[in-house]
Homo-oligomer: A and B are copies of this chain.
Amino acid sequence: MVTWFSRKRTRVEAPKLRSRSEVLATTKVDLVEFTPELMEFLGRAAYVQLTLFENLGRALAMAPTTSAKAALSRAAELSMVKHRGLAGVIEKSGGSVADVMEPYATGIDGFQRVTLGSDWFETIVTCYLTAGFLDDFFVRLAAGLPPASATQVIGVLSQDSGEALLAEELRSAMEANPRLASRLAMWGRRLVGDTMLLARQSLTYSENHKSDEARIEPVFTELIAAHTRRMDSLGLTA
């Protein structure tokens, strides 16, 4: 319990620059007692962002129209800004970006493989839903970092990730082809399991699994509620 309280004290509020941060600042549950050491956190979060960026790159290369390409190139840029922001924090902390990410690469590559999607539409759903979920998750987990790092990391992760651009592409695709919706809804429901698993693997657990689960559960309930809102905003049933 001593450890619990001492970590609790290092909590910082998310900067109130963006709408997503405003939501988070009023959130009562976070993951401060599960935050790994700084370099582990940064290695995992930076590699996750690189993976999200790669997914957008793949979606960009497969885009069926020049207009979709233009939208995705903007989203890819925003995603790259996040990865580079975290890479910058690693470098300022004296680490090599590649070395710090290396231990977590294989696990996150596995997540990437199972969430790839079977076509362009599913890949876009993956980009939209997993980026939203994982950014939310890592912002909550970052709250347990040393305060200066927490502020930097939360600042990076709370930036716009082009969610609206992706949602717009998906909405117009489903308008043109209404049968797409049920397939994409199924894909969206499937994604949440794999994404939660990746998030859980990023937590540093205590010895007491039962109490850990009790603390983690309300956070994941909120993350899943946000996932459901993201699906709702596309008109998909979660």
Q: What residues of chain A have their CB less than 8 Å away from a CB belonging to chain B? A: 47, 50, 53-54, 56-58, 60-61, 65-67, 69-71, 73-74, 76-77, 80, 83-84, 87, 97-99, 101-102, 105
Contacts and interface: CB of A to CB of B under 8 A. Distances in A.
Contacts of A47: 66
15 contacts: A50-B60, A53-B76, A57-B57, A58-B58, A65-B98, A66-B105, A67-B99, A67-B102, A69-B101, A69-B105, A70-B98, A71-B98, A73-B83, A77-B84, A80-B80
Contact of A60 (B54, B66, B98, B105): B54
Contacts of A61: 54, 57-58
The 5 closest A-B pairs by CB, nearest first: A57-B57, A67-B98, A70-B98, A66-B102, A54-B61
B76 A80 contact: yes
A181 to B, nearest CB: 25
B87 A80 contact: no
Given A57-B57, A70-B97, 14 more contacts: A50-B60, A53-B60, A57-B58, A57-B60, A57-B76, A66-B102, A66-B105, A67-B102, A69-B105, A70-B87, A73-B80, A76-B80, A77-B80, A80-B80
